[in-house]
Structure 1
Amino acid sequence: MYRFKGFDSAECGDNMSVLETVINAWMEAEHPRIRHVCQSMRGEHILLSFVYEDTRELEQRVATSAQTGVTGGYPRFFDDELVDERPTSPRIPATPPPMH
């Protein structure tokens, strides 16, 4: 599940060092898998927005799927030894025939 987190430089007195420290502390504590970052202005202040996945939730889903044999939320239904018994169809040529 995607989540949103925003940081406003106004909350840090517009001190970039403090803003960096706050963001780094969040990243170290949460270990987010960041999917999108946006920087915008709000008057004289900088807004940083993150769309991320919570890695703990992601790890939990992976662990659950490994236990149940379900990958990506879908059961595995392809058998490696399954033989396709359908008649073969003519192959499509890699290059189209020349145009006249």
Structure 2
Amino acid sequence: MYRYKGFDSALCGGSMAALEAIVNAWMEGERPRIRQMSQSVRGQHIILSFVYEDTHELEQRIALQNPATAITGGYPRFFEDDTVEDRPTNPSIPATPPPMH
């Protein structure tokens, strides 16, 4: 489910450093999966808008779909412990790419 979060520099006394600190704290704490971001100007202030997915919700959905991924924190393993030699080969895919002309 997508969510919306907005930040207004007016609430930070117009301080860009304070606005950055608030946005960074939110990103570090929530770890959102940002889908869209926009910046608007209202008078002398900046408004930052984010449309995002809550990663906690996303991890729960993934864990419910595949309980095996719950062990790895909701993220599938990309790198297996086996080596390249242990993997089956596909003869239709060449081991080396053809030379570029």
For structure 2, which runs of at least 5 residues remain unmatched after alignment? Answer: 68-101
Give TM-score, length-normalised by structure 2. 0.65
Distance in structure 1 (CA, Å) of the matches to 2:2 and 2:42: 24
| Structural mapping, 1:60-99, within 5 Å | 60-67=60-67
Distance in structure 1 (CA, Å) of the matches to 2:44 and 2:21: 20
How big is each residue's C-alpha offset from its partner over 1:37-73, in whole Å with a ceiling of 9 and x where there is no partner? Answer: 0000111110000000000000000000013xxxxxx
Q: CA RMSD in A?
A: 0.6
Name 2:13's counterpart in structure 1: 13
Amino acid at match of 1:63: A
**Pairing 1:49–2:21 present:** no
Query: Higher helix proportion, which one?
Result: 2
Give TM-score, length-normalised by structure 1. 0.66
Q: How many residues align?
A: 67
How big is each residue's C-alpha offset from its partner over 1:7-28, in whole Å with a ceiling of 9 and x where there is no partner? Answer: 0000001100000000000001
Distance in structure 1 (CA, Å) of the matches to 2:5 and 2:42: 16
Task: Report sequence identity in percent.
Answer: 66
Amino acid at match of 2:33: R
Name 1:77's counterpart in structure 2: none
SS of the residue 1:14 aligns to: coil
Distance in structure 2 (CA, Å) of the matches to 1:24 and 1:44: 22
**Pairing 1:29–2:41 present:** no
Distance in structure 2 (CA, Å) of the matches to 1:21 and 1:44: 19
Q: Which has the larger radius of gyration?
A: 1
